[in-house]
């Protein structure tokens, strides 16, 4: 499906067949495309680029389409990787984490650090973390394939 070019987000690099590869939602998803382009929130003289997931309801482009600055997309990737690393060893804890030390990591960024932690403010964390752990395990093949691909591309780029 062709991504619209007449809306505020201006696509530059696109994946217009995303519905074919959208993880376990492949071929049955409203996420029809991905794009990198000029952000919809740009003001005169200020240009930001963003990543966008284009969702289509079957009748129109959805207002639930998401647009994120590229650094946030990468920050989410970092969060996913640190969470996955934690859950590889989480079986050692009764509740899949140490309630006395819920911080998983502090990832240095821009002279500070992004804290990665279990959300102990969630009153149902002991139940929710088990569901999360199971879902992460169920999707391990899908996520692993993408991480291996990302790793290969990053290595090819010299990272």
Supply 149's token pair: 């691909």
Query: What's the CA gap between 128 and 119, in Å, rounded?
Result: 10
The model's pTM is 0.85
Q: What sign does the dihedral 109-113-118-121 (CA atoms) show?
A: negative
pLDDT (tens digit per residue) in 89-133: 999 999 999 999 999 999 999 999 999 999 999 999 999 999 999
State the pLDDT at residue 156: 98
Mention every residue, 6+ apart, whose C-beta is less than 8 A from residue 116.
Answer: 78, 79, 82, 83, 86, 103, 104, 105, 106, 107
Q: What mean pLDDT do residues 60-89 have? A: 93
Query: What's the CA gap between 140 and 136, in Å, rounded?
Result: 6
Q: What mean pLDDT do residues 64-89 have? A: 94
State the pLDDT at residue 63: 84
pLDDT (tens digit per residue) in 8-64: 888 988 999 999 999 999 999 999 999 999 888 877 677 888 999 999 989 999 888
């Amino acid at each position: 499906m062709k991504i619209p070019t007449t809306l505020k987000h201006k696509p530059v690099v696109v994946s217009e067949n995303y519905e074919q590869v959208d993880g376990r939602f492949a071929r049955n998803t409203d996420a029809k495309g991905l794009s990198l382009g000029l952000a919809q929130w740009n003001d005169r003289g200020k240009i930001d680029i963003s990543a966008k997931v284009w969702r289509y309801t079957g009748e129109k482009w959805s207002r639930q389409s998401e647009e994120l600055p590229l650094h946030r997309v990468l920050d989410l990737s970092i969060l996913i990787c640190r969470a996955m690393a934690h859950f590889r060893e989480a079986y050692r804890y009764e509740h899949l984490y140490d309630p006395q030390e819920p911080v998983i990591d502090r990832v240095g960024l821009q002279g500070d650090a992004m804290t990665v932690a279990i959300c102990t403010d969630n009153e149902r964390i002991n139940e929710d973390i088990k569901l999360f752990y199971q879902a992460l395990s169920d999707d391990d093949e899908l996520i692993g394939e993408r991480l291996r691909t990302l790793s290969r591309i990053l290595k090819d780029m010299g990272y």
